[in-house]
Amino acid sequence: MATMKSYESNINKVNESAIDRVFMFFNNSILLVIMLIVLLPLIYIVSASFSSSEAVIEGRVILWPVDFSLQGYQTVFEHKKVWDGFANSLFYTFFGTIFNVVMTIIAAYPLSRLDLVGRRFITFAFIFTMLFSGGLIPTYMVVRDLGLLNTRWAMILPTGIGPFNLLITITFFRTTIPSELIEAARIDGASDFRIFASVVLPLARPIIAVLALFYAVNTHWNTYFMALIYLKDQELFPLQLVLREILIQNSIDASMLTDVEDLVAREGLRDLLKYSLIVVASVPVMALYPFVQKHFVKGMTIGAVK
Amino acid sequence: MLSFRWNRVTGDGKLWLRVRRNWQLYVLLILPLLWLAIFRYAPMYGAQIAFRQYSPAFGIEGSPWVGLANFERFVNSPKFEPVIVNTLVISFYALLAGFPIPILLALSLNQVKSRFFRNSVQMITFAPHFISTVVIVGMLFQFLHPRVGFTAALAGMLDQPSPNWMGDPGAFRHIFVWSGIWQEMGFSSIIYFAVLSTIDPSLHEAAVVDGANRLQRIRYIDIPGLLPTAMVLLVLSTGRVLEVAFEKVYLMQSPLNLGVAEVINTYVYKVGLLSPILDFSYSTAIGLLKGIVGLLLMIAVNHAARRLTNHSVW
């Protein structure tokens, strides 16, 4: 989007033919429909979460909130499990992302140096893990033998370096740090450590932002697979596992709904609660989204257009 | 630059000298390589239990060697056919339906004149990518709930009996594939859109002068421009056809739809970590079979792509 060339504006000064105008009409109509198909379910969720439980259960919510109420949110925030899950997810995401970014950067810089002996072999060793892996059980056995099962470490250490992220970081270093700059620093007597710390790292800020986003969202905040395999204690569960219990397995702590006497109202609250929970769980990422979108695009394009 | 040349003239010891000159770079690589060895390559070594009858008491090397017995057991088991068929059907359905749509979206967006409209469509179609799998499946359950869901409300308005799609095995694949397209089409189109913006504008200008309309310019300029990228992505996703997204399938499974929803990855998980009698060796064998077939498939598709279109991943 930022790289969009301005050729359109030159071309469009020429009068469009009838066939082009018909084409554009259909083109834009289809895009509008696609946009609505994506948008409407999202609007519905938010609207339902702000409606009363009666309106939700009777199916009166179509597009806008009906009988505006914060009942759902109140129930969500009174739920200790949700708070614990939220806190755990923040913990895993924060420390996990730091670990991922540091590891990726210290691996990518040496591998971006064309004068490194063994560069191709080591890079291939990383990329190969994208094509083939030992599998679920052997990986589980390694984590088990290291004594990491059911600890917070199990959520952080195995994530390490994503091969795709390593590739885009290597490409970034190759294309943005001129080898003349590194040679000049060497001639001035700087060691590789010194060059890494005072030349490479300051220039790496954009790629660090991209990596942090990729890892935080894709590897940590939004996943539940590792937690499902490695964790047993409820107190260690990330938010996504708590969500799974409530949204998918439909197991809601009855104590959450005690102040509601009526069985029907209780059923309604159960559904309302889910909509509010969906909103609460998605807000942290969605709130960041408009600011980070361009970084995501940048990251994807570094990888694709070499 | 100077030092590179110096390295070259030193003859015999040049390789070692280059290694020694860059020793600090290798120090930086120590931790990443250690991590790679422990968490990625040690499991590959451990995968040999697929050829053994693993028991924790004897460890990996100590467990008795059984050759291909575990593989044979899987191939001859009644689960083999449905699991493989389900995996392939879901994968190819997702691939056939999901592959062209982001390309069409990018081509179509690229035609839009209004910057505001273009950015809005991109921003909105991109957004669902950030919603977690659990939430997406949770949304599906809510929307398609036979009593309180969106579809139930709609059916009520039309005086129709409300459908129970999540419980309908016949609907499972469609729901899985199309919700995936709903979530990822915007994100997947980014790459294509970026490639389109690198196409030389003079090609379009020349085509306009020659009287080409928009459709013709898409056909003869944009699509050929996207072909290399599309081929690379197609090869990569074909190599992953056996890797149906575990997280989503597992969440969407229910006793009602298990006949069509059990895929290799979920089966491996259940055999290895969920069943009452855990069978590490059997589960690993199934996983290994999947991995090897996937790798061979990728190599084959890459080869075919190179033969047919001259574009390939490697």
| Number of CB pairs, chain A paired with chain B, less than 8 A apart | 302
Classify domain B69-309 at the CATH topology level: MetI-like fold (1.10.3720)
- The answer to whether residue A263 sits within a structural domain is yes
Using CA atoms, how far residue B164 sits from A48, A69, A278, in Å, is: 20, 28, 22
**Which range has the worst mean pLDDT, A71-75, B11-15, B209-213, B291-295?**
B11-15
Note the pLDDT tens digit of each residue in B194-216: 889 888 888 988 988 888 888 88
Angle at B77 between CA B73 and CA B81, to 5 degrees: 125
Q: Does one domain contain both A134 and A20?
A: no
A2 CB within 8 Å of a chain B CB = no
Neighbours of A5 (CB within 10 A): 14
How many structural domains are present in chain A? Answer: 2
Q: Higher model confidence: residue A16 or residue B104?
A: B104
DSSP states of B79-123 as a string? THHHHHHHHHHHHHHHHHHHTHHHHHHHHHHHH---HHHHHHHHH
When scoring B40, B116, B193, B218 by the number of chain A Cβ atoms within 10 A, the one with the most, hence best to mutate, is B40
Q: What is the mean pLDDT of residues B230-254?
A: 86
Which pair of tokens denotes residue B75?
Answer: 């191939």
The shortest CB-CB distance from B19 to any of A111, A117, A225 is to: A117
When scoring B132, B188, B243, B288 by the number of chain A Cβ atoms within 10 A, the one with the most, hence best to mutate, is B132
Q: Are A171 and A204 in contact (CB under 8 A)?
A: no
End-to-end CA distance of chain B: 30
Note the pLDDT tens digit of each residue in A229-262: 999 999 999 999 999 988 888 776 655 555 555 6
- The answer to whether residue A282 sits within a structural domain is yes
* Residue A80, phi then psi, degrees to nearest 5: -65, -40
For residue A171, which residues of chain B lie inside 8 Å, CB to CB? none
Instruction: Give the gap in angstroms from C-alpha A259 to the nearest C-alpha of chain B.
Output: 22
Instruction: Give the gap in angstroms from C-alpha B78 to the nearest C-alpha of chain A.
Output: 22
Q: Does one domain contain both A87 and A213?
A: yes
Q: Does one domain contain both A182 and A220?
A: yes
Q: Does one domain contain both A167 and A198?
A: yes
Q: What is the mean pLDDT of residues B83-106?
A: 93
The pLDDT value recorded for residue A56 is 77
Q: Does one domain contain both A42 and A138?
A: no
Q: Which of B265, B262, B270 is nearest to B241 (CA)?
A: B265
The pLDDT value recorded for residue B24 is 92
Residue with tokens 């007597």: A189
Residue with tokens 């009942």: A71
Q: Which of B135, B36, B256, B112 is nearest to A32 (CA)?
A: B112
Q: Where in chain B are the domains?
A: 2-62, 69-309
Please list, in sequence order, all residues whose beta carbon lies within 8 angstroms of the beta carbon of residue A136, skipping any fewer than 6 positions away: A229, B265, B268, B269, B272, B273, B283, B284, B287
Q: Does one domain contain both A232 and A258?
A: no
What does R_g of chain A's alpha carbons equal in angstroms? Answer: 25
The shortest CB-CB distance from A41 to any of B113, B125, B139 is to: B139
Asked if B273 lies within 8 A of A136 by C-beta distance, the reply is yes
Instruction: Give the gap in angstroms from C-alpha B224 to the nearest C-alpha of chain A.
Output: 16
Q: What is the mean pLDDT of residues B1-16?
A: 52
Asked if A161 lies within 8 A of B32 by C-beta distance, the reply is yes
The shortest CB-CB distance from A158 to any of B39, B135, B204 is to: B39
A238-256 as b/e: b if 16+ CB within 10 A:
bbbbbbbbbbbeeebeeeb
Question: Is pLDDT at B75 greater than 90 in this prediction?
Answer: yes
Q: Are B180 and B248 in contact (CB under 8 A)?
A: yes
DSSP states of A115-146 as a string? T-TTHHHHHHHHHHHHH----HHHHHHHHHHT
- The answer to whether residue A245 sits within a structural domain is no
The pLDDT value recorded for residue A1 is 42
Note the pLDDT tens digit of each residue in B247-280: 999 999 988 888 999 999 999 999 999 888 889 9
**Which range has the worst mean pLDDT, A1-5, A12-16, A282-286, B23-27?**
A1-5
Q: Does one domain contain both A42 and A131?
A: no
Please report, rounded to a whole number, the percentage of residues in chain B having pLDDT higher than 70. 95
Residues B274 and A51: their CA atoms lie apart, in Å, by 39
pLDDT band at B5 (very low <50, low <70, confident <90, very high): very low
Residue with tokens 């309604």: A268
DSSP secondary structure code for residue B52 in this structure: B
Q: Does one domain contain both A145 and A194?
A: yes
Question: Is pLDDT at A72 greater than 90 in this prediction?
Answer: no
Using CA atoms, how far residue A108 sits from A98, A101, A104, A165, B240, in Å, is: 15, 10, 6, 9, 25
Q: Does one domain contain both A63 and A165?
A: no
Question: Is pLDDT at A33 greater than 50 in this prediction?
Answer: yes
Long-range contacts of A280-285 (CB under 8 A, 24+ apart): A280/A73, A280/A76, A280/A82, A281/A239, A281/A240, A281/A243, A281/B132, A281/B134, A281/B135, A282/B130, A282/B131, A282/B132, A282/B135, A284/A221, A285/A217, A285/A221, A285/A222, A285/B130, A285/B131
Domain carrying residue A130: 80-236
Instruction: Give the gap in angstroms from C-alpha B218 to the nearest C-alpha of chain A.
Output: 12
Question: Is pLDDT at A298 greater than 80 in this prediction?
Answer: no
Residues A236 and A150: their CA atoms lie apart, in Å, by 8
Residues B109 and B115: their CA atoms lie apart, in Å, by 10
Question: Is pLDDT at A225 greater than 70 in this prediction?
Answer: yes
Q: Does one domain contain both A231 and A293?
A: no
Q: Which residues pair with B65 in a beta bridge?
A: B52
Closest residue on chain B to A160 (Cα): B35
Q: Where is the domain boundary, A176, A205, A236? A: A236
Residues B100 and B10: their CA atoms lie apart, in Å, by 55
Residues A73 and A79: their CA atoms lie apart, in Å, by 10
Closest residue on chain A to B289 (Cα): A135
DSSP secondary structure code for residue B163 in this structure: P
Q: Does one domain contain both A134 and A198?
A: yes
Residues A27 and A21: their CA atoms lie apart, in Å, by 10
Dihedral angle over CA of B108, B121, B149, B140, nearest 10? 70
Which pair of tokens denotes residue B189?
Answer: 């189109």
Angle between helices A163-176 and A80-112 (to 10 degrees): 50
CATH number at residue A114: 1.10.3720.10
> What is the average pLDDT value for chain A, to the nearest integer?
85
Q: Are A38 and B128 in contact (CB under 8 A)?
A: yes
- The answer to whether residue A223 sits within a structural domain is yes
For residue B141, which residues of chain A lie inside 8 Å, CB to CB? 247-248
Q: What is the mean pLDDT of residues B16-43?
A: 93
